[in-house]
Amino acid sequence: MTEFRLGQREIIESALKGHDVLALMPTGGGKSLCFQLPALMGTGLTIVVSPLIALMNDQVASLTRLGIPAGCIHSGMSEQERRSVFHAMAENKYYLLYLSPERIQKPGFAAWLARQKVNLYAIDEAHCVSHWGHDFRTEYAELKLLREIHPDVPIMALTATATPLVKDDIIKQLNLKKPDQHVYGFYRPNLYYQVEFCENEADKESFVLSALSKTPTGRVIIYCGTRKKTEEWAQLLARQGEKVAFYHAGMSSDERTKMESAYQSGKVRVLAATNAFGMGIDHPDVRLVVHTQMPGNIESYYQEVGRAGRDGKHSTCLLTYSKKDKGLQSFFITNSEASAKIKAQRWSALNAMVQYAEGSECRHGDILTY
C-alpha cells in the first residue's frame, strides 16, 4: 500500500491518540486497516469483535500471510484449537484477537479478558448494537460490558450504514466517551442501480436470468426475503447450470460455515441467501447483487448491494420489485416483538424503501439523500 484511502489516516490518528472513535465508511472503504495498523503500533492487544466466522478466519489468514500474528476464537473451532489460541495468548504472541460478540458473554470469559493488556477494542458492523438499526442483534447489546471490563481502553465502532438516529444510539449503547466521529462519502460510481417492476414471479425469474447471462464472470449474490425462497432460487439456477448454493439462518452453524467457505474459495459462484449473509463479506469480484424481494429499509439495501464491485470495477445491483414485496415486509413488522416506538420507525423506513423502488429519480441520489 502506497497511500491511505479516504478517511483511514484520520481514523488511525484518533485511535493512536487513545480516543474513542465512531467511523462511518462506505462498504469497501478499507475499515480493517483502521484498527489493524494501530494494533501494530501499540504495546498491547487489539480485540476485534466480528459477526461472521468466515470473515474472522479470512482476516486471520490474511494477517498471518503478512507475518502479523493474529488469532480468533469462535464456535466453529475445536476445543483443541481454542486451547491453542489461549496458550498463544498466554505467551503474548498476538497483535490482534478476533472474537464473535457471543464469546464476550461466555461464563468466565469477561474475567479472562480483564486480565489481558488490551490497547483497543474494534467493533465491526457496529450498527448491530442499535435497536433503531436495520439489523439489531441481541448479542451485540452485551458489548457494553467492554467498557466495564476496561474503562480506559478506547473503543472504535465501525459501520458502513447508520442514520443519525442509529449513530447516536451506537454512542449511547457502547458508552463511547466523546468519540471522534468520522463520516465519509457513500457515493460509489462503479455501481449501477437497476429496479425492475414485476407483475409476478415469472417476471422476476426473467429479469434475474437475463442479468446472470450478462454477468458471465465474477461472483453473484441473490438476496431473498425468506429461507424458502433461497432454496427455490438455488434449485432454479442449478437447473440452469450455475454453480449455486443457498444460505440462511435455518441452517446449522456447520452448514453455514461450509457454504461460506465454498463461496470464499470460488467453488460456488452464485449464492442465494437471506440477509443472514452479508456483513463483512469481502470479495473484490462480486459483479452482480440481486434482490428478488425488496428489503425492509434502505440501510439494509445499501449494506447488501455494497458487496458488489469492491475492486472498483463496474457491477450491477438489481432489485426486482412487486407490490407483494411490501406485504411481506409489513408482515415482518406487524408480527415482530418490537416496541410500538421501534415499529413506527420501521414503518417509516419501509415507506422510504417503497418510494425508492417506485421512484424514477437518480438511484444514487435517493440513497445518498436517505
Model pLDDT for residues 42-68, shown as the tens digit of each residue: 889 999 998 878 788 888 999 999 999
All 3 cell numbers of residue 62?
490474511
Name the nearest CA neighbour of 188 among 312, 319, 33, 23.
312
- Residue 46 and residue 39 in contact, taking contact as beta carbons nearer than 8 Å: yes
pLDDT given for residue 151 in this prediction: 96
Cell (9 digits) for 65: 500471510
Rounded CA-CA distance 186/26 in Å is 5
Cell representation of residue 304: 447488501
Whether the pLDDT of residue 322 is over 90: the answer is: yes
What is the reported pLDDT for 213? 95
Report the SS3 class of residue 105: helix
The C-alpha cell of 79 is what? Answer: 476445543
Report how far residue 281's alpha carbon sits from residue 307's, in angstroms, rounded to the nearest whole number: 7
| CATH hierarchy code of domain 8-183 | 3.40.50.300
- Which DSSP state fits 216? -
> What is the reported pLDDT for 114?
93
- Give the pLDDT confidence of 132-155 residue by residue, as tens digits: 666 677 888 889 999 999 999 999
The percent of residues in the chain predicted with pLDDT above 90, rounded, is: 61
Domain ranges of the chain: 8-183, 191-369
Q: Measured between alpha carbons, how far apart are the two ends of the chain, in Å? A: 33
Average pLDDT over residues 280-309: 88
Q: What is the pLDDT of residues 154-209, one digit of tens each?
A: 999 999 877 788 899 999 999 999 999 999 867 788 999 999 999 999 999 999 99
335-345 pLDDT, tens digit each: 988 889 889 98
Separation CA 96–CA 368 (nearest Å) = 34
Helix (H, G, I), strand (E, B) or coil at 48: strand
Contact 12, 21 (CB under 8 A): no
Q: List the alpha helices (DSSP H) in the chain.
A: 8-16, 31-41, 53-65, 79-90, 109-114, 138-141, 145-149, 164-173, 201-213, 227-239, 253-265, 298-305, 323-334, 340-358, 363-369
DSSP string across 230-287: HHHHHHHHHHTT--EEEE-TTS-HHHHHHHHHHHHHTS-SEEEE-TTS-TT---TTEE
Architecture field, domain 191-369: 3-Layer(aba) Sandwich (3.40)
Residue type, 29: G
pLDDT over 70 (residue 281):
no
Indicate if 191-369 has the same CATH topology as 8-183.
yes
